[in-house]
Amino acid sequence: MNPWLGKNELLKHLHWWCIIFAVCASCTQKQTPILGLVQTERLGTTRSHHFLRVLTHFHSPYSYDACDDNGLIRWDVNQKCLDDVREAICVDHEDVVFATDHPNNMARYPYESLLMHREGDEWILGTGGKKVGNRIHCPDGYTSDWYPGMEGRLLALGMQSHSSESQDERINLYNGEDLRTKAEIEQKTHGLIAIPHTESRTLEYLEKIRPAAIEIYNFHAYMDPKILKTYLHLSPFHNPFAVLKYLIDPFHFYDANYMFEDLGEMSPVYFQKWDALQAKGILATGLAGADSHETIFKLKMSDGQRLDHHRRTIRFFSNFVLTEKNDEDSVKAAIVHGRVYFVIESLGTPLGLDFYVKSADAQAKIIAEMGDQIKESPQSMIFHLPSLFPAPELDQDAASPEIWAELIRVDDQAKETVVMQSQGAAEFIYPNPSPGHYRVQVWMKPRHLKNHLSSSDLAEKPFIWVISNPIHIGP
């Protein structure tokens, strides 16, 4: 069922009127320039580490519901759907894609089929020359590394093989969700186990599984009225007219690439569970899941592309992973270590990301990077908060955005406290820091996007832009 609909008859009638208007509007649809994302080389390096943009929850045509349930045609990959996938990851410059397909489909195919290899691609080889990934060479010269995985009740990132030669055994295992399943998938496939859709999992379950990572945001959840109401405790149809503005727009007043700012409302549910895990000593890395299927709303926006085109959904936000190397094992190790920033990238790509802790002595040595743990804290520390500005620069005459950063401490009762706030670069001396989990949260009023957002009021609205993973202080 289309998640924008439901059982409400009024909404059903509204849907049909939308179709009528959309057909009329399509007569004047224009192909606006495809707006992608800045290449990650522009973010620079930090102390031998560099940034990679990493998709950690993404569906290829091998998922049963991909492409409006047409990802597979007579069990063969729908090439149009695959074209959309490849276009999206190339235009948005995704460095690494951990595909996560539903088990009942992907488990029926040989592992090599899931690599999506085409002529002109490059095999990524693992131990013993085994094919474990596929390097896609994009038209602009960029490359993107593709690794198969699966989403059942667990999320397995970067599987390097199937768990078994038997399809039935694979399906049964991949649909499990207990500790035995987790251990067996890790051992047999070398996949990194994370928890998707954290909003629907109990804290008790998360404590029991002790995953390496959890989702602290899931895009698809915010598009599903049932999940919004039941698990995120938000209105199931928050601002439906925002969608209509971009759908029925024959004169092209609005830029549909920014439509999700109209719907942006972040639920505290994810952060409450994340904080609670950290308070219990379970240092799960926070990731954001695109969960992109092309199965939400097939009608085209005024720019000629469907609302949920992969290119549009995955440019809304990103995981920036700090890693020393680009190979699969290094990227997964960086995720496990908590070297990940969650960024609402439609507001701009943050240049200047850097969060660390220094000692407050005369030498002022860096003693902890994001994701590190300081078991015995010195008497005084210096927290370095990032000074950020967004790229690309869209309009020369645009106003500058207002940006400020907060340092948040999570204590052993899972309580969040803002311990400092800054605008611009800041080095904050923290005497006798209390044990806890310290992360940075960056806010923005996107005044630089005033000419692109659907309302000038949105340019004055504060949005969360960046959330770091924590630096942990204390035992």
What span, in angstroms and rounded, lies between the C-alpha atoms of 200 and 151? 15
pTM exceeds 0.85 for this model: yes
pLDDT attached to residue 446: 93
Answer yes or no: are the C-beta atoms of 23 and 34 closer than 8 Å.
no
pLDDT by residue (tens digit) across 117-145? 999 999 999 988 999 999 999 999 999 99
User: Would you give the end-to-end CA distance of the chain in angstroms?
Assistant: 48
The percent of residues in the chain predicted with pLDDT above 90, rounded, is: 55
CATH 2.60.40 in the chain: give the residue spans. 349-475
pLDDT top residue among 359 and 350: 350
Most confident of 42-51, 92-101, 307-316: 92-101
pLDDT attached to residue 11: 43
Average pLDDT over residues 317-337: 97
Nearest to 122 by CA among 114, 113, 132: 132
Domain 349-475, what fold?
Immunoglobulin-like (2.60.40)
Confidence band, pLDDT 50/70/90 cuts, at residue 380: confident
Answer yes or no: are the C-beta atoms of 196 and 218 closer than 8 Å.
yes
pLDDT by residue (tens digit) across 2-45? 333 444 444 444 444 444 444 444 444 444 556 678 899 989 89
Residue 133 three-state SS: strand
What span, in angstroms and rounded, lies between the C-alpha atoms of 359 and 345? 32
The three-point CA angle 98-102-106 to 5° equals 85
- Give residue 468's identity as a one-letter amino acid code: S
Strand 380-385: give its sheet, edge to edge: 366-369, 356-359, 380-385, 426-431
